[in-house]
Structure 1
Amino acid sequence: MKTFPRLLALDIDGTLLAWIKGSGTTHGTVTPRVHAAIQRAHAAGAHIVLSSGRSPHGMTGTADLLGVVAPGSEPLWVVASNGAVVFRYLPGAEIDVVVEETFDAAPAVRAILEARPTARVAIEERGLGYRVSTPFPEGELSGEMVLTEIEDLVRLPVSRVIIRDPEATADDFVALAAGLGLHGTDYVVGWTAWLDLTPVGVSKASGLQHVVDELGLTAADVLAIGDGRNDIEMLRWAGRGVAMGQAIEPVREAADHVTDTVYDDGAAVEIERWFG
């Protein structure tokens, strides 16, 4: 009898949701095959945990799509903001934040803007949207965007900062983060450059560690699937880390296995190994 995995840690964009090529955004639904595989895993008793760089309110819609949580059922564990926020979710109820890690982002933001003056900065305003230095391209942030001066954006501790520069490339941002010695996670969203800054030591892996501790499990019980640079720590941490087929080489190297691409239902291919 198969006893692994007892928990599925699933990235969203590029893993459960396929990229709309050339747009920087993902489709709004999971495919029937991925949905069915997750349903089988849940029915078999596996915990389903979404783990994303998205803000908490940017993840609840995807949680609803999976069909594994409903009013009156056990709340879903969710790891948001690249591990800085861990919460429990039931449709129709307020998000129950269990963990929120914060940090002083001002020095890092100032250093980035000195190097990339055209960069845009966003801070999540939970439940409403984002406070931004300059509007982001349509569809990239969920909720309302409120224009805010930089110094006001970083005046108080925050859990996550988004840096976006339409004039930069992904490689520019990787080099920028390395050159400045930033503590955070650099990764690519779609076709452009996007950098997330989070508290030192915080990642999807640290967020998931909170979850397994609460559930009486360990990392060895976890199957994690992801496709981005912000998934590297999670894939290394999990008992089995699986990279999506379209992932770049550093992500693939961090994984125990590489599945098919998101366009070929790679998440379902892996989940079906255990819950076929």
Structure 2
Amino acid sequence: MPPATERKLVALDIDGTLVTYDEVLSDAAREAVAAVRAAGHHVVLASGRSLIAMTPIAAELKIEDSWIVASNGAVTARLDASAPMGYTLEKVETFDPEPVLRMLQVELPHARYAVEDVGVGFRMNELFPEGELNGEHRVVDFEELWAGDVTRVVVRSPGETSAEFHEIAARLGFDDVTYAVGWSAWMDIAPQGVTKASALEAVRRELGVAAENTVAVGDGSNDIDMLRWAGWGVAMGHATEPVRAAADAVTGSIDEDGVVDVLRSLL
């Protein structure tokens, strides 16, 4: 085991980094994660996924005792096999979704909207395609989406491009929330200032890992802050140019299991 001062915090995105878009986690990736953990380093999964969508991946990786960052940083938990749900919540960041939902409804009246209920699932104005969101799905009136503070708002509107989503967000002036646009017509909206990076920084301090000993690997726009935060940020080979520009290095694509090369380089 390396001395505590030399242990690294290795933050790994899931979709497009560890897991293919067909939900495949390769044996090579599984073995590389296990080797890094066996060497004494901290592997922290950091994803836009909800917590209940991340715990099965952690189980596949045989990670039962680590921190985990979900919902783009709005939810931080510690995996604990002895806990009733398999984890304990450490920090949950929320915001009032009503203002942003009212504005978006005017701009995107035909979009599908969902808000996250941590550890349960989502409330939505209409069902999302099967497999896109995990947990229980409850269809409610639009006004019920802002019945209370939430960790995240999800917007799905196939009629718009990613660029159009960015333009709408800029025009509406999302000053009180943080947003990230996905590969397709998908937008995640989180509390102001909350990102994977903000949550990982809190985890880093708790673990006592030096800032220069942090590593992050990701592929999406919601990973940009995380890649900039890390002492060594690595973008996947298939990432867009803004993501690659935020990184210190670029590895192979998800089809090439690029994350495996990064993990093996730490051993």
TM-score above 0.5, yes or no? yes
Out of 32, 36, 51, the position equivalent to 1:37 is 32
Shift of 1:97: 0.7
Equivalence for 2:107: 115
Structure 2 residues without counterparts, runs of 5 or longer: none
The answer as to 2:76 corresponding to 1:86 is: yes
1:99-124: CA deviation from partner (whole Å, max 9, x where unpaired): 11111111111111111111111112
Q: What does residue 154 of structure 1 align with?
A: 146
Once the two structures are superposed, the pairs formed by residues 1-276 of structure 1 within 5 Å of their partners are 6-20=8-22, 27=23, 29-69=24-64, 75-91=65-81, 93=83, 94=85, 95-182=87-174, 183-189=177-183, 192-275=184-267
Deviation at 1:92, TM superposition (A): 6.0
Relative to structure 1, the CA distance from residue 67 to residue 270 in structure 2 (aligned partners, 3 Å threshold; closer, same or farther) is same
Range that drifts further, 2-11 or 194-203: 2-11
Tell me which moved more, 240-249 or 161-170.
Answer: 161-170
How large is the RMSD of aligned CA atoms in angstroms? Answer: 1.7
Letter in 2 for 1:166: P
Query: Structure 1 residue 174: deviation in Å?
Result: 1.7
Change (3 A) 1:218 1:178: farther
Distance 2:99 2:235 in 1: 33
- Give the secondary structure class of the aligned counterpart of 2:109: coil
Letter paired with 2:179: T
2: CA distance, partners of 1:156 / 1:13: 29
Q: Residue 7 of structure 2 contacts residue 209 of structure 2 at CA under 8 Å; is this kept in 1?
A: no
1:237 maps to amino acid: W
Query: Hey, what's the Cα distance between the residues in 2 that align with 1:62 and 1:218?
Result: 27
* Aligned partner letter, 1:10: L
What SS does the aligned partner of 2:155 have? strand
Identity of aligned residues (%): 44
Give yes or no for contact 1:185–1:229 (8 Å, CA) kept in 2. Answer: no
- 2:181 alignment partner, SS class: strand
What secondary structure is seen at the aligned counterpart in 1 of 2:194?
coil
- State which drifts further: 91-100 or 205-214: 91-100
Q: Distance in 2 between matches of 1:5 and 1:227?
A: 24
Deviation at residue 127 of structure 1 after TM alignment: 3.0
Match of 1:24 in 2: none
Partner-residue secondary structure (3-state), 1:117 = coil
Q: In the TM superposition, what is the alpha-carbon distance from 1:221 to its structure 2 partner?
A: 1.5
CA distance in 1, matches of 2:114, 2:219: 23
Return the alpha-carbon distance in structure 2 between the equivalents of residues 65 and 96 of structure 1: 19
Query: Residue by residue, what CA displacement relative to the aligned partner does 1:107-151 show, whole Å, maximum 9, x if unpaired?
Result: 111111111111111112233321101111111011221011122
Helix, strand or coil at the partner of 2:185 = strand
TM-score, L = length of structure 2: 0.93
Normalising by structure 1, what TM-score?
Answer: 0.90
Deviation of 1:5 after TM superposition, in Å, equals 6.1
Deviation, 1:4, is 6.1
Code of the aligned partner of 2:79: Y
What amino acid does structure 2 have at the position aligned with 1:232?
I
1: CA distance, partners of 2:171 / 2:211? 32
Amino acid at match of 1:19: Y
Partner SS for 1:242: strand
Contact 1:223 1:240 in 2 (8 A): yes
Q: How far apart are the structure 1 equivalents of 2:105 and 2:225?
A: 27
